[in-house]
Structure 1
Amino acid sequence: MSKWQRISEAEKQIMEIVWSHDGPITTAEIIKGLPEDKAWKQNTVITFLARLMEKGIIKATRVGKANHYEACLTEKEYRNLETRQFIQDVHRGSVSGLISALCDNGDLKKEDIEEIMKRLKE
């Protein structure tokens, strides 16, 4: 993937279905996996899939008359990219700035701090 691009909330909903599926997935399977309140038409889903392909998040393989989509990066890899970009955008690249903000706001629980300390020691 060349230049990473953030995905929209709608694209994220599509990706959650792709990530949760074991192996390649068709448009019809994606539509079936959508929550009931997201009754998107097939063309809408295809538009989101095309955008995700342009961004290098998924790839498609034609099998018969259907495209089979699969992720080019895992959900964890994507979340790591989002986190890095957030730290860059909001905290000027400073991880300690992020942690300070969490501490200042009281958002860190004792368990969170213990987990962070454990991870730092590894």
Structure 2
Amino acid sequence: MLQQVSDFELELMKIIWENGGTALYAEIVEKLDSKEMSTTKNTIISLLLRLIEKGFLKTNKIGRRNRYTALVSEAEYQASQTETFLDKIYEGDAKGLISTLIQKELISADDYEELKNHWKGGDNKE
């Protein structure tokens, strides 16, 4: 099971994932600025170091710059967090989660049918 990350750490990871799984510090800052999420250099560096300690990133020196590379894919993190959520909120009962998604119209009938077909092997859309 992967460790939980803070909301801002997740934003940093999303930037790196969106950038093909690797990014320079300057690229990360540029993307944060475009999302109007700028913060201090020390905060960003601290959060990146925390992600390294948690095993989400590794860093390589390129001259005087650091390249941050994801060690955990976005799909791996999503799967881990979904499993944690399912266990914590629904005590592992996936049917309860699906029922809530349908009842609260968080998943459309078309999406539900598409998923059913996919599970039956009748739909191999990616």
How far is the alpha carbon of 1:36 from its aligned partner?
Answer: 4.8
How far is the alpha carbon of 1:22 from its aligned partner?
Answer: 3.1
Q: Structure 1 regions of 5+ residues with no counterpart?
A: none
**Partner residue in 1 for 2:3:** 5
**Partner residue in 2 for 1:15:** 13
* Contact 1:27/1:42, CA 8 A, preserved across alignment: no
Aligned residues: 120
User: Aligned partners of 2:120, 2:38: CA distance in 1, in Å?
Assistant: 47
Distance 1:109 1:36, change over 3 A: closer
Cα RMSD between the aligned structures?
Answer: 1.6
**Partner residue in 2 for 1:78:** 77
User: Aligned partners of 1:36, 1:75: CA distance in 2, in Å?
Assistant: 19
User: Aligned partners of 2:119, 2:71: CA distance in 1, in Å?
Assistant: 29
Q: How does 1:1-122 map to 2 (within 5 A)?
A: 3-22=1-20, 24-34=22-32, 35-122=34-121
Q: Structure 2 regions of 5+ residues with no counterpart?
A: 122-126
